[in-house]
Amino acid sequence: MSDNQDKSRREDGTADRFLETNGGANPTSVDLPSVEARSPYLPDDQLPNNNPALNPDEGEVQTGIVTAAADAAELEPLKDAVSVENNTTDETEQTRRRKSFWREVLETVILTILIFFMVKSLVQNFRIQGSSMEPNFHTNQLLLVNKAAYFHFDLNAWLRVIPGVKADGTNLVWFFGGPHRGDVVVLEPPDVPTEDYIKRVIALPGEKVEVRDGIVYINDIPLKENYIKEKPYSTYGPTVVPPNNLFVMGDNRNASRDSRVFGFLPVDKVVGKSMFIYWPFGSQWGLVPESKYE
């Protein structure tokens, strides 16, 4: 081939390709058509060089063509909405927990107050002052008193409410059996109702009581008492305890202001039954012992 012919082929955009024959013959020149760099998947109008929508330097994004930047711009409001919703949910949860916490605190306080008043209506503590109950109770001992032990009501008072029912006097009904001889009680003395005394029940309603020769007699039978400090010097009676009343005395008979001084004790003046010595610790700490008589 001549030089002019080679030049002409190159100008036409053709390429030379040489093939060797099996026989080692001289290579033969074959003219092949040139191929443009086209994408097998995109049409011509969407190639980077032809479509300004994919070329930032040649124009703005066309309608219907979504780029990565456009996707991010459209998703940004959704991200903001999700963030706001999450923040709102967190704030709502925190508010709910805060309200739940304060509600529990309020319920605990109310329950504590209710329990306090309930216990206070049933059990009350007292501090012993004076020597009238020695040798069994001493000054500054702290004592728990069961105020429910002598709960009672007047049945006749209720019966009188019914038309046509006549119920004279009183008929006390005791929830837990009422006072017993030997009970150590806290009381309000009839002549000094602003003070509280601690004494022992000696005689019950309808019983005859007498004190002579240092011995207490109940219905003319001597009362054996192993809890007194010493025998009384004074005398008393005989007399019968009226209904709904008690006769009380201190264990330290010669240093006690009791029924020998202020008279019989109405049962309504009894505050409660001594139950437990809780201070100080020592030999007398614990339950108040029950007195037994032969």
Q: Is residue 293 part of a domain?
A: no
- Same domain for 271 and 155, yes or no, is yes
Task: Decide if 294 is inside a domain.
Answer: no
Nearest of 279, 273, 232, 271 to residue 255 by alpha carbon: 232
Does residue 100 belong to any structural domain of this protein? yes
**pLDDT (tens digit, 9 = 90+) per residue, 130-184?**
999 999 999 999 999 999 999 988 888 888 888 888 877 788 888 888 899 999 9
pTM for the whole structure? 0.63
Same structural domain, 208 and 254: yes
Task: Report how far apart, in Å, the C-alpha atoms of 24 and of each of 17, 19, 20, 21, 186 are.
Answer: 16, 10, 6, 5, 138
Q: Are residues 45 and 157 in the same domain?
A: no
Query: Are residues 54 and 96 both part of a single domain?
Result: no
User: 283 and 195: one domain?
Assistant: yes
Give pLDDT tens digits for 13-62.
444 433 333 444 444 444 444 434 444 444 555 544 555 444 444 444 44
Same domain, 176 and 134: yes
Instruction: Say whether both 161 and 44 belong to one domain.
Output: no
User: 103 with 136, same domain?
Assistant: no
State whether 137 and 207 are in the same domain.
yes
- 3-class secondary-structure state, position 99: helix
Tell me whether residue 183 is in a domain.
Answer: yes
Range of the domain at 98: 66-124
What are the tokens at 31?
A: 């003219």
> Does residue 292 lie in a domain region?
no
Q: Could you tell me the CATH number of the domain that includes residue 246? A: 2.10.109.10
Which residue, among 201, 196, 158, 144, has the nearest Cα to 177 in the 3D structure?
201
Nearest to 144 by CA among 125, 161, 166: 125
Query: 70 and 186: one domain?
Result: no
Number of domains in the chain: 3
Q: Looking at the structure, tell me whether residues 249 and 108 fall in a common domain.
A: no
Q: Average pLDDT of the chain?
A: 77
Decide if 208 is inside a domain. Answer: yes
Residues 137, 250, single domain; the answer is yes
- Whose tokens are 């429910």? That residue is 148
